[in-house]
Amino acid sequence: MLSDNEKILVTRSSMPDFDEYVEEIRPLWESAWLTNMGVLHEKLHDELIDYLQVPGLTMFSNGHMALEMALDAMKLSGEVITTPFSFSSTTHAITRNGLTPVFCDINPDNYTIDADKIEELITEKTTAIVPVHVYGNICDVEKIDKIAKKHGLKVIYDAAHAFGVKYKGRGIGNYGDASMFSFHATKVFNTIEGGAVSYNDKDFEKVLRYLKNFGITDKENVDYIGGNAKMNEFQAAMGICNLRHIEREIGKRRKVVERYIERLDGVCGLIIQKPQEGVESNYAYFPLVVDNYKISRNGLYDLLAENNIFARKYFYPLITDYNCYRESFKDVKLPVAKRISDNVLTLPCYADLSLDTVDRICDIILGVK
Ligand code: T4K
């Protein structure tokens, strides 16, 4: 059996040098202050505000809790429009807040929510839209903004994949009422586990700060029914180190993606993503849609695995097909999402992936008879 080091997996965590991390955590042995918004937490917070170019940011233990608490803080009710072409977290965060997800189809160009189909789903119960910048592709933020304003809806972006992405020169976290970023080990920027919510509204900041710390407002008052979703000092230290090298890491990802595009663009039966106009990408994922190619998506997945290349079917199945949701959403028709989900494969994509390995992966794909 192959060790994990011999396998090419869909991603591989970016890590600083061991000594760099050790230097960052060394003071913790003096202070013995390990969590609850310590010095490193505050330092990373300020650095992220600068890097993401957002007016406000609250950090969390992970991206999922960040999204769950952002929805909670918005005091929503009724129905929330979202897409099923995402990681489980997006819909779970809605449902776990006692809200009803209403699924909108995705557009076939970049797999984000089809903004032209949102309005037909709005009812008197709709209070928010949770679109996903899937793979780091940017939703039609302008159209979504207009719809939200017209109908008085909140917009909370699931920007788990979109760390560092800019649209028209602005950090992507500036769009909508709030955006959630994931800093999970598998993401472009990681704090081991971690996440954050960005927003414009300063009052929102207070609520999020309290919600992630049991709703405690001061030593003798608990004003909110909060939970525990604080980022600890070891996570923050990892973030501080990784943020130092983020431009280099994104640059290396860019080379990987460019090589895939060079090799796979224009091949009949294979659909790849083209750069979006006005978007500065973070090259988070490389999705490939197998569309009447010489081999099916599942066949290609197996063939790559036989060659120790472990691509992933992000995002298959659709969330609406999960056992926990299927019965409730059996009548929902989402033809584009279904087609993409049934045919997509995300190829290995990470900063330390060598271009030789990208070539080997492409050779296997293109060599199919
Ligand atoms: N919204 C969206 C759209 C998301 O994609 C996610 C998370 C969230 C919300 C929630 O954010 P977080 O609460 O996670 O911050 C992985 C990640 O666990 C998950 O964070 C991510 N999305 C999702 C797309 O991918 P799995 O179940 O595929 O992970 P796993 O363990 O199979 O790992 C995938 C590959 O990553 C491995 O083959 C190797 C590599 N890896 C993994 C780990 C755990 C590393 O290189 N280092 C590691 O430490 O979900």
Q: Which residue from 177, 173, 123 is spatially nearest to 149, judged by alpha carbons?
A: 177
Ligand 1 centre and the CA of 203: distance in Å? 31
CA distance 256 to 10: 13
pLDDT of residue 6: 81
Ligand 1 centre and the CA of 314: distance in Å? 10
Task: Categorize the per-residue pLDDT at 199 as very low, low, confident or very high, splitting at 50, 70 and 90.
Answer: very high
**Is the CB of 61 within 6 Å of ligand 1?**
no
Q: Which residue from 115, 79, 135 is spatially nearest to 274, judged by alpha carbons?
A: 135
* Closest atom of ligand 1 relative to the 184 alpha carbon: 15
* Closest atom of ligand 1 relative to the 310 alpha carbon: 38
Helix, coil or strand: residue 250? helix
Task: Give, as one character, the DSSP assignment of residue 174.
Answer: G
**Is the CB of 92 within 6 Å of ligand 1?**
no
pLDDT exceeds 80 at position 217: yes
Ligand 1 centre and the CA of 173: distance in Å? 21
Closest C-alpha to ligand 1, atom 44: 185
Average pLDDT taken over every residue of the chain? 97
pLDDT exceeds 80 at position 3: no
pLDDT exceeds 80 at position 126: yes
Give just the sign of the alpha carbon dihedral 94, 96, 102, 105.
positive
Ligand 1 centre and the CA of 184: distance in Å? 6
Percent of the chain with pLDDT over 70: 99
CA distance 237 to 20: 10
pLDDT mean over 296-313: 98
pLDDT of residue 5: 65
Task: Categorize the per-residue pLDDT at 202 as very low, low, confident or very high, splitting at 50, 70 and 90.
Answer: confident
**Is the CB of 216 within 6 Å of ligand 1?**
no
Task: Categorize the per-residue pLDDT at 2 as very low, low, confident or very high, splitting at 50, 70 and 90.
Answer: low
pLDDT mean over 97-101: 98
Task: Categorize the per-residue pLDDT at 274 as very low, low, confident or very high, splitting at 50, 70 and 90.
Answer: confident
Ligand 1 centre and the CA of 299: distance in Å? 23
pLDDT exceeds 90 at position 348: yes
The full length of the chain comes to: 369
**Is the CB of 313 within 6 Å of ligand 1?**
no
pLDDT of residue 1: 56
